[in-house]
Amino acid sequence: QVQLVESGGGPVQTGGSLRLSCAASGRQFSLYAMSWYRQAAGKQRDLVARITSGGNTNYADSVKDRFTISRDNAKKMVYLQMNSLKPEDTAVYYCNAVGFSQNVWGQGTQVTVSS
């Protein structure tokens, strides 16, 4: 019912910024809770940030005060603004949608932070 495509990843220097985008297709995007997860090489996939249908946000402690999740329901987009990037932020970042008994993942976008 919903499909997700991430973009905006790439290489960046320590201390730099990136803005990831997730484009959703399908109906009733505004009713899905949207999240960003990340998975570093050899590690599990962890929650980075979440924004509910009501606009409430939650962040992993490791990114709090550096990352900001937002959504534009009219455009069916969710964003992750990443500032003050660290090498530890290097990972594949995945967009996730939960709603209507669905749990949907995007294909991921690579973020590489060099020291």
Averaged pLDDT, 22-43: 97
Question: Which of the four pLDDT bands, split at 50, 70 and 90, describes residue 1?
Answer: confident
Rg, C-alpha atoms of the chain: 13
Instruction: Write b or e for each residue in 77-89: b if 16 or more Cβ atoms lie within 10 A of its Cβ, otherwise e.
Output: bbbbebeebeeeb
pLDDT one-digit tens code per residue, 43-68? 999 999 999 999 999 999 999 999 99
* Residue 9 neighbours by CB under 8 Å, 6+ apart: 18, 20, 92, 93, 109, 110, 111
As given in the structure block, the two tokens for residue 73 are: 């329901």
Region 94-108: mean pLDDT is: 97
Has residue 77 got a pLDDT over 90? yes
